[in-house]
Amino acid sequence: MASNTGRQAPKPAISRNRLLGTAGLAWMFDAMDVGILSFVIAALAVDWALTPGEMGWIGSVNSIGMAVGAFAFGILADRIGRKNVFILTLVLFSLASGLSAATTGLAAFLVLRFIVGAGLGGELPVASTLVSESVGAKERGRVVVLLESFWAGGWLIAALISYFVIPEYGWRIALILTALPALYAIYLRIHLPDSPEFTAKKEKRGSIGGNMKALFSAKYRRATIMLWIVWFTVVFSYYGMFLWLPSVMVMKGFDMIHSFGYVLLMTLAQLPGYFTAAWLIEKIGRKFVLSVFMIGTAISALVFGNADMTWLLLTAGAFLSFFNLGAWGALYAYSPEQYPTVIRGTGTGTAAAVGRIGGIFGPLLVGSLAGAGVGLGPIFSIFTGAVLIGVAAVLILGTETKQIELE
């Protein structure tokens, strides 16, 4: 946990803006790949005549890989450093993403999506940990949320590529376009210094088993349980809703081009969601921002699932993007602050891994229930309930860490 009496963090060896830009670009390319997948699923359903269950598995196998990657690479980050894992995961992710464009069948596509997920799942919690450890307490939360805002930029680019490229040139070209820029991010990361906190504590790093045991010690048990619940509910609802968003629009009667266009409009609301969360998180605190934005997500999901008019559907979808992605930003800022440096990668990565288990079940749930003829209203009500459970965990078990020095 963070501490008011801990020593001041070492002065970072890289400027805040350069660190944010370097990490943010890679974050954006990751978001492009996840974002494009939701549109690719809709296109593959037509090209490969996929059932709703098979469509759900594409999203879920990506989350299986993310769960494995978050757990394994989170632990590894406490052993070999944040920067090394940062580079390794991006190489893994970009190569597998590019190769997936060459697949001709569902089985090979699923294998490569698992590898993409492993790289992506390992990278995101390690990136937020690196930035959190390299920025001063007074602006740490805001900078981490701004890092998360690059995700919205990646989703917007993915939506633009999907709208203009997939109908005309196909989903393979779209996947290649999202994989190639990641190579540039690899070049940028090579010149990125490691976390000053990790470098200062290298000699104190513990064993893998000892680090895992520490997560459930008396001092950190409450924070660990809280993070696991919140990560599970947020990721379960996000991947269940957003990976299916273009397909849901098709289910509601829109053709593919109109569906992609409407999702693009909804995606625009992600950026103000991030920026609002970034402004509030240092003004009011992590618990408030995370709780309020999760409540907004729950209400928006309920309205979206039951909307039967286009204007209401678009409005609810925009609010869903605004609140859900703002909550993600707050969660990434909040998670690394729960642990000391020597177990921060393990704690954050393990929480993210538990969350990715939720990401496995979310898309499968939508596919199985839709295939069984269940309406979108009841399906989205399940996500509303899940998010509210996460809100309860934050309010009951969470502690405020605003502008507190990391331990």
Lowest mean pLDDT among 81-85, 100-104, 326-330: 81-85
Distance CA(124)–CA(154), nearest Å, equals 14
The predicted pLDDT at position 145 comes to: 84
**221 pLDDT exceeds 60?**
yes
Q: State the residue for tokens 């177990």.
A: 343
In angstroms, rounded to a whole number, what is the distance separating the alpha carbons of residues 348 and 69? 12
pLDDT surpassing 80 at residue 239: yes
pTM of the model as a whole: 0.77
Residue found by looking up tokens 């990751």 in the block: 30
Report the C-alpha dihedral over residues 89, 142, 234, 58, rounded to 10 degrees.
-30
Under CATH, to which class is 16-192+214-397 assigned?
Answer: mainly alpha
Contact 206, 214 (CB under 8 A): yes
Query: So what's the pLDDT on residue 255?
Result: 72
Model confidence over 175-211: pLDDT tens digits? 888 777 666 666 766 766 766 666 666 556 667 788 8
pLDDT of residue 354: 93
Cα–Cα nearest to 2, from 124, 141, 121, 122: 141
- Of the two residues 123 and 236, the one the predictor is more confident about is 236
Report whether pLDDT(101) > 80. Answer: yes
Give yes or no for a contact between 192 and 93, defined as CB atoms under 8 angstroms apart: no
What is the amino acid identity at position 140?
R
Instruction: At 202, give phi and psi (nearest 5°).
Output: -55, -45
> Is 90 exceeded by the pLDDT of residue 327?
yes
